[in-house]
Amino acid sequence: MSLKASGAGEGAIEAPGVGKAKEEAKGKAKARAEAKAQSGLAIPGIGLMKGLGVVLKNSTRKRITEQYPEERLTVSRRTRAQELVWDPGPCTGCATCVKACPQGNIKIVTSVNAENNKYIVEKFENDEGRCIFCGLCVEACPYEALFFGRSYERARYRRNDLIADMDEMSSDKKERSAYARPELHEQLPEQTLLIYRKHKRIL
């Protein structure tokens, strides 16, 4: 260690390498000052011209903004939209979807038909307010009686209105998604959401 005299005449101990670090810091500060001075020599208004160039380049692109709700976008064919679609035909009331749901949203009440000893679904509800749309119930259904819907206009003013019953989930009133049902993929319209139509690419 070296002993350096301060302005007051008192001795001050300086740790090894401190002087070198100070010199490096001064060098970096000087380099930054020089770079800043050079940037100040730029042509006035060059930043404005660059911004206008970006505006002009993008002004010729075809618009991608839709005037919702007058115009509605077509979502992905395999979307996990905010609703479930239930087909009562193949449903046997086995409650596999209830067991698969990690949130416990689905409720099924069944009775037994004395004639054929099969279940009759008396009540089928899904609380869409608690649903995380993971798709496990759709994937788990062994009879392909559950689907995701394609509607994204599910906002409600009351939480109780988000509980969908059998009538609301009936498949004859809803459009099915091809999620976990690839056989429906070609039957559905092509997605328009976030597509720049001129180049047919996803933004």
- pLDDT tens track for 172-201: 878 899 999 999 999 998 887 554 555 555
Query: Mapping DSSP to helix (H, G, I), strand (E, B) and coil, where does residue 130 land?
Result: coil
pLDDT value of residue 7: 47
User: Could you tell me the two tokens for 186?
Assistant: 């070609």
- pLDDT tens track for 87-134: 999 999 999 999 999 999 999 999 999 888 899 999 999 999 999 999
pLDDT value of residue 14: 56
Residue located via tokens 């380099």:
31
User: Could you tell me the two tokens for 92?
Assistant: 């046997």
pLDDT value of residue 66: 77
Asked if residues 73 and 164 have their Cβ atoms less than 8 Å apart, the reply is no
Name which residue leads in pLDDT, 39 or 128: 128
Say which CATH architecture domain 84-174 belongs to. 2-Layer Sandwich (3.30)
Asked if residues 148 and 87 have their Cβ atoms less than 8 Å apart, the reply is no
Task: State mean pLDDT over 22-44.
Answer: 73
Query: Mapping DSSP to helix (H, G, I), strand (E, B) and coil, where does residue 126 land?
Result: strand
Using 50, 70 and 90 to split pLDDT, how confident is the model at 202?
Answer: very low
pLDDT value of residue 37: 64
pLDDT value of residue 41: 56
Asked if residues 110 and 93 have their Cβ atoms less than 8 Å apart, the reply is yes
Class of residue 126 by CB neighbours under 10 A (exposed 0-12, middle 13-18, buried 19+): buried
Using 50, 70 and 90 to split pLDDT, how confident is the model at 3?
Answer: very low
- The pTM of the full predicted model, rounded to 2 decimals, is 0.63
Q: How far apart are CA 169 and CA 152, in angstroms?
A: 14
Average per-residue pLDDT for the chain: 83
pLDDT value of residue 15: 59
- pLDDT tens track for 57-87: 888 877 777 788 888 888 889 999 889 999 9
